[in-house]
């Protein structure tokens, strides 16, 4: 084996989940309200999800036994602060037990403070775009400080802020009878985007004050916009408000999270459909594992000097052999980036579990299957394979 693909012992090797998608019963969240609003976009509600609020020890036991050394999970603001200024000591203690449980199992916890869902009262006062949202986010972090007091080395402030801002635009369009673009993502809501950047800076300051040992960053969705010849300026203009401003905001952070699944093709008139002859995943995205290598290179260029961590990468498929094929090629492109000197500190697969994918359960990203009636967990062959890659500390060769 080439030493070019060998990983240092400090390299983070894990899988990711989010609270709303796995815990179940997150009834005080804005997403629970959105799920029950009657909008066609929602095919089914999250309900009990994977019941991970109660079954997290089993989830962690499986990951540790499979060979993973790290676990990224989120804590739920709506549980910790179900009403403005009213905090649940029981919820904080619950998430602290999760941190301690991960450490007991040999898993290094990465804690995400906001993964799409927020308290319903926060939405009702205007969401991120409302005045003072950054102060409220910092207040919640202070209330949850016991979760981060020790044993947590990495904190992700906000997951995919660019998608949070896009979802704000989508929700506005859906609830007001507006139209969404036929292809590609709508422009992020500008007020929401600006507020999220302020909230991230405030969150970093707050975490550093409360827990100076913690390394902070945030995770950005990378769309890997690839222009056709002659469409380079169009692609750059399309990408800047949807991605680049959030990458630029990470300059100087302890780390930057890279989240990549597929690519987006851009022509002279804007986004193009997935090529007719391309393989598609359950989500309708193009099967394009090389997107990960492109994404880390773009992030390194936009936030030079900031270490990178792949916080999400995966595929929605019912064919687990294709999951292994996809991840093999994705890790190969990651190995090439490492060989070229890009500072990458870890890899987290999305997702540890088949979970609620924001409106439906059909897209199965998980390394571990979940029966949503009995909640029985069944690791897939891809879970054992990826765990073994981590134990070997050697990445697959690029295809």
- pLDDT tens digits along 180-197: 888 888 999 999 999 999
Strand partners, 108: 70
Q: Is the model's pLDDT at 3 over the cut of 80?
A: no
For the record, the structure tokens of 85 come out as: 């200024």
Q: Among 341, 239, 327, 334, which Cα is nearest to 292's?
A: 334
For the record, the structure tokens of 121 come out as: 């009262």
Q: What is the mean pLDDT of the chain?
A: 96
Q: Is the model's pLDDT at 340 over the cut of 80?
A: yes
Domain ranges of the chain: 3-392
For the record, the structure tokens of 211 come out as: 């827990």
pTM of the model: 0.97
- pLDDT tens digits along 372-399: 999 999 999 999 999 999 999 999 987 6
Our CA dihedral for 327, 328, 333, 338, rounded to 10 degrees, sits at: 100
Q: Is the model's pLDDT at 2 over the cut of 70?
A: no
- 348, 314 in Cβ contact below 8 A? no
**Positive or negative: CA dihedral 233, 237, 238, 243:** positive
Rounded to an integer, the average pLDDT of 170-183 is 83
Q: Is the model's pLDDT at 1 over the cut of 70?
A: no
Q: Among 107, 8, 11, 22, which Cα is nearest to 63's?
A: 107
Query: Concatenated DSSP letters for 198-247?
Result: HHHHHHHHHHHHH-TT-EEEEEEEE--EEEPTT-HHHHHHHHIIIIIHHH
Q: How far is 146 from 282, CA to CA, in rounded Å?
A: 39
Q: Among 145, 279, 264, which Cα is nearest to 214's?
A: 145
Task: Select the more confidently predicted residue: 1 or 54.
Answer: 54
- 7, 344 in Cβ contact below 8 A? no
What are the start-end ranges of the E strands in the chain? 12-16, 70-74, 108-112, 154-159, 215-222, 225-227, 256-260, 264-267, 270-271, 308-313, 344-350, 368-370, 377-379
Angle at 323 between CA 319 and CA 326, to 5 degrees: 130
Residue 223 backbone dihedrals phi, psi, to 5 degrees: -90, -10
Q: Which fold has domain 3-392?
A: TIM Barrel (3.20.20)
Count of alpha carbons within 13 Å of 43, Cβ hemisphere only? 8
Q: Among 365, 344, 386, 346, which Cα is nearest to 13's?
A: 346
pLDDT more than 70, % of the chain = 99
Q: How far is 238 from 271, CA to CA, in rounded Å?
A: 9
Residue 82's pLDDT band (cuts 50, 70, 90): very high
- pLDDT tens digits along 232-267: 999 999 999 999 999 999 999 999 999 999 999 999
Range in 42-46, 66-70, 171-175, 200-204 with the lowest mean pLDDT? 171-175
Q: How far is 135 from 205, CA to CA, in rounded Å?
A: 12
């Amino acid at each position: 084996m080439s030493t070019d693909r060998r990983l240092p012992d400090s390299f983070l090797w894990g899988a990711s989940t989010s609270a709303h998608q796995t815990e179940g019963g997150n009834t005080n969240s804005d997403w629970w309200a959105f799920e029950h609003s009657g909008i066609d976009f929602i095919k089914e509600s999250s309900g009990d999800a994977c019941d991970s609020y109660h079954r997290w020890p089993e989830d962690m036991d499986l990951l540790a036994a499979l060979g993973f050394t790290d676990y990224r999970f989120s804590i739920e603001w709506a549980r910790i602060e179900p009403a403005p200024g009213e905090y649940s000591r029981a919820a904080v203690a619950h998430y602290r037990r999760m941190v301690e449980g991960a450490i007991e199992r040999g898993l290094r916890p990465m804690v995400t403070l906001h993964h799409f869902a927020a308290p319903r009262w926060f939405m009702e006062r205007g969401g991120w775009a409302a005045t003072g949202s950054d102060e409220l986010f910092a207040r919640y972090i202070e209330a949850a400080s016991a979760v981060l007091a020790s044993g947590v080395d990495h904190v992700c402030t906000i997951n995919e802020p660019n998608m949070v801002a896009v979802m704000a635009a989508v929700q506005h369009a859906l609830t007001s009878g507006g139209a969404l673009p036929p292809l590609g993502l709508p422009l992020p809501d500008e007020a929401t985007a600006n507020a999220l950047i302020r909230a991230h800076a405030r969150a970093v300051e707050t975490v550093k004050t409360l827990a100076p040992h913690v390394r902070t960053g945030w995770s950005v969705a990378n769309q890997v916009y690839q222009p056709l010849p002659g469409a380079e300026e169009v692609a750059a203009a399309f990408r800047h408000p949807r991605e680049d401003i959030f990458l630029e905001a990470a300059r100087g952070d302890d780390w930057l999270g890279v989240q990549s699944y597929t690519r987006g093709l851009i022509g002279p008139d804007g986004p193009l459909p997935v090529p007719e002859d391309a393989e598609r995943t359950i989500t309708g995205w193009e099967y394009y594992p090389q997107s990960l290598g492109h994404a880390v290179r773009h992030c390194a260029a936009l936030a030079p000097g900031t270490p990178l961590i792949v916080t999400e990468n995966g595929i929605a498929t019912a064919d687990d052999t294709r999951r292994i094929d996809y991840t093999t090629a994705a890790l190969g492109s990651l190995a090439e980036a490492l060989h070229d000197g890009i500072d990458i500190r870890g890899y987290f697969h999305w997702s540890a579990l088949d979970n609620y994918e924001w409106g439906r359960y059909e897209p199965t990203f998980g390394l571990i299957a979940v029966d949503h009636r009995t909640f029985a967990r069944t690791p897939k062959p891809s879970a054992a394979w990826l765990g073994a890659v981590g134990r070997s500390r050697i990445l697959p060769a690029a295809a």
